[in-house]
Amino acid sequence: QKEVEQDPGPLSVPEGAIVSLNCTYSNSAFQYFMWYRQYSRKGPELLMYTYSSGNKEDGRFTAQVDKSSKYISLFIRDSQPSDSATYLCAMSDNNAGNMLTFGGGTRLMVKP
């Protein structure tokens, strides 16, 4: 079993929909939770990070962490075709950049 599980998709939604992307994990030591967005043929870019449990909002994006269930989510409101990309969750038990564990990524397609 992988340490971080993520549904690969593809997830296809109409423009304007609310998108929910999720990851589950098994390592209870993880404290830092990140979401990356990767456009085709590009490197990933950090969208948001959350420390420990709770919610964090940034514009149309909301990240949620439920440590008791070992479950994290990224919500995208009013989705746009430009949100079409692969979304990767990542997590770590420290902030020192080592042993960052990524999920396999979920491919999202937002149709006009």
Shortest Cβ 25–another protein spacing (Å): 12
Residue 30 or residue 83: which is nearer to another protein going by CB?
30
Q: How far, in Å, CA of 57 to CA of 64, rounded?
A: 9
Q: Give the x-and-dash track for 39-78 against another protein (CB under 8 A).
A: --xxxxxx--x-x---------------------------
Interface residue with another protein, options 17, 24, 32, 60 (CB under 8 A) = 32
For 82, list phi and psi in degrees, rounded to 5.
-70, -10
Interface residue with another protein, options 8, 16, 54, 81 (CB under 8 A) = 8
Is residue 81 within 8 A of residue 15, CB to CB? The reply is: yes
For 1-112, strand residue ranges (E) read: 4-5, 11-14, 19-25, 32-38, 45-51, 54-58, 61-66, 71-76, 85-92, 101-102, 106-111
Would you tell me which residues interact with another protein (CB under 8 A)?
4, 6, 8, 32, 34, 41-46, 49, 51, 88, 90, 92, 94-105
